[in-house]
């Protein structure tokens, strides 16, 4: 029984050692990440309850098919103030030159009552300001 186990284990190790990893070059590599201005913001309810959840949608314009949404920089300036900056990625893949608008969202779940102020980066020193009253 021990010799059968040793032979099986040796066969498995031998098989693994001759298995090659496929070098898959069919993916695109992110080459850079940069700010992208937020063109518009949609907040469905400007009043909500504490601990409830609301999706805040942002819209940005991308200049080609090699660019897309990467993420947000969501900064708590104080208990009731937030600065939000969106970022885009650029890949090294084949690009279509079509301009398109991408929609993304932040799920906001307030922890305390108050009037929250959100500033969304709109390019240069420009911001889109929105408020939500939490009761």
Map out the domains of the chain as residue ranges.
26-134
pLDDT of residue 47: 97
pLDDT of residue 126: 97
CATH of 26-134, one of 1.20.1070, 2.60.40, 2.30.30, 3.40.50: 2.60.40
CA nearest to 83, candidates 73, 71, 70: 73
Alpha carbons within 13 A on the beta-carbon side of 109: 4
CA nearest to 117, candidates 134, 108, 129: 129
Q: Where are the alpha helices (DSSP H) in the chain?
A: 2-17
pLDDT of residue 124: 94
pLDDT of residue 131: 98
Query: What are the pLDDT tens digits along the chain (135 aa)?
Result: 555 555 555 555 555 555 555 555 567 888 899 999 999 999 999 999 999 999 999 999 998 889 999 999 999 999 999 999 999 999 987 888 889 999 999 999 999 999 999 999 999 999 999 999 999
* Residues 39 and 60 sit within 8 Å (Cβ to Cβ): yes
CA nearest to 52, candidates 112, 127, 121, 97: 112
Where on the phi/psi map is residue 51: left (φ > 0), alpha (ψ -120 to 50), or beta?
A: left
pLDDT of residue 62: 93
């Amino acid at each position: 029984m021990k010799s059968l186990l040793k032979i099986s284990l040796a066969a498995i190790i031998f098989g693994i050692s001759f298995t090659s990893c496929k070098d898959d070059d069919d993916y695109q590599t992110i080459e850079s990440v940069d700010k992208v201005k937020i063109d518009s913001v949609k907040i469905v309810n400007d009043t909500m309850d504490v601990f409830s959840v609301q999706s805040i949608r942002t819209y940005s314009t991308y200049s080609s098919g090699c660019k897309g949404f990467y993420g947000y920089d969501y900064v708590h300036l104080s208990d009731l103030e937030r600065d939000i900056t969106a970022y885009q990625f650029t890949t090294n893949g084949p690009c279509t030159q079509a301009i398109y608008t991408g929609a993304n969202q932040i799920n906001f779940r307030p922890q305390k009552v108050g009037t929250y102020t959100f500033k969304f980066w709109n390019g240069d020193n420009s911001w889109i300001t929105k408020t939500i009253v939490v009761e």
